Amino acid sequence: MQSDETVIAVGMAEAARRLGLSARTVATLVLRHELPSRKVGRRRIIPVAALEAFVRGDPRVSSVAGAQVISGGTG
């Protein structure tokens, strides 16, 4: 990856590494809908913004068209 690229979503293993958790714990969070994710083919990806919101404890998470995303939270 080049330094000027911005990664907007990561796989389960990378999400676990960034959060300092085990891959099993991240999978459990995803199954409990506590951490938003999206299935793409065989992979499950998690938006980096969702990881940041999770760490902050930001409750603004909603489900849109079957994929969970971070909402804009305008009110």
Looking at residues 5-21, what average pLDDT do you find? 96
Is the residue at 4 inside a domain? no
Is the residue at 1 inside a domain? no
pLDDT at residue 63, as a whole number: 39
State in Å, rounded, how far the first CA of the chain is from the last one.
Answer: 37
Answer yes or no: pTM beyond 0.85.
no
Looking at residues 51-73, what average pLDDT do you find? 63
Query: By three-state DSSP, how is residue 10 classified?
Result: strand
Is the residue at 43 inside a domain? yes
Looking at residues 12-19, what average pLDDT do you find? 97
- pLDDT, one tens digit per residue, over 30-53 is 999 999 999 999 999 999 999 999
Mean pLDDT of the chain: 82
Number of domains in the chain: 1
User: HEC string of 36-74?
Assistant: CCEEECCEEEEEHHHHHHHHHCCCCEEEECCEEEECCCC
Is the residue at 75 inside a domain? no
Residue-number span of the structural domain to which 16 is assigned: 9-70
pLDDT at residue 3, as a whole number: 57
